[in-house]
Amino acid sequence: MHISEGVLSGPVLLSGAALAAAGTAIGLKKLDYEQIAKAGMLSGAFFVASLIHVPLGPTSVHLIMNGLVGLLLGWAAFPAILVALALQAVFFQFGGITTLGVNTLIMALPAVVCYFAFSPLLFHRRPLVVLSAAFACGFFSVFLAGVIASMALMFTEENFWSVAAMVVAAHIPIMIIEGIVTALCVAFLKKVQPSMLPACSRKEGP
């Protein structure tokens, strides 16, 4: 879902970059000292996640992990994902420098949306609710990323619905896998390090 250089028109690139810059500014403002290490860890995880391939039938898909990054970081997902994408563009030639803004928006906006949608459910009494919230977070962050990518592409490719249907259909397997991985991570963190989860740290705070 990394959009290459030379695909999008100037206005799309500029508005993507502007929105990504705004998100990053908010993220940096909200990033407090205690969160820095966590943001760095998740940025690193996002950076390498796309190298992890899950074999699936004749082909293989790779993890994206923007759901987990968003769930644990909130607005700070913007700078974390921006850094990871910039490094992916430079080192792996995924995406590109001019499309960095758009790609950041594609990955980070769903992360933040899912944070606000699902993090309140993480400390529900029933574990089933918690797990389904985590699953939905992983699932919908990829789904929304596909929708935003299609919105960016619709100015250059045919029409929105065909592009969106294609992008979303191609990512259905990864949505399910992301959901499972996010659920497993949340279950693990709840046992081992619950303070990493957002609702908990808010409760523990002053």
Binding site for other proteins (CB under 8 A): 1-8, 31-33, 36-37, 39-41, 43-45, 47-53, 59-60, 62, 83-84, 87-88, 91-95, 149, 152-153, 157, 163, 166-167, 170, 188-189, 192-193, 195-196
Q: Are 50 and 1 in contact (CB under 8 A)?
A: no
Please give the Cα distance from 195 to 203 (Å, whole number).
Answer: 10
Nearer to other proteins, 93 or 161 (CB): 93
Please give the Cα distance from 14 to 75 (Å, whole number).
Answer: 21
Task: Provide, rounded to whole angstroms, the least separation between the CB of residue 87 and other proteins.
Answer: 4
Q: Are 80 and 39 in contact (CB under 8 A)?
A: yes
Nearer to other proteins, 87 or 199 (CB): 87
Nearer to other proteins, 102 or 117 (CB): 102
Task: Provide, rounded to whole angstroms, the least separation between the CB of residue 132 and other proteins.
Answer: 23
* Sign of torsion over alpha carbons 88, 137, 184, 198: positive
Task: Provide, rounded to whole angstroms, the least separation between the CB of residue 70 and other proteins.
Answer: 17
Please give the Cα distance from 172 to 146 (Å, whole number).
Answer: 10
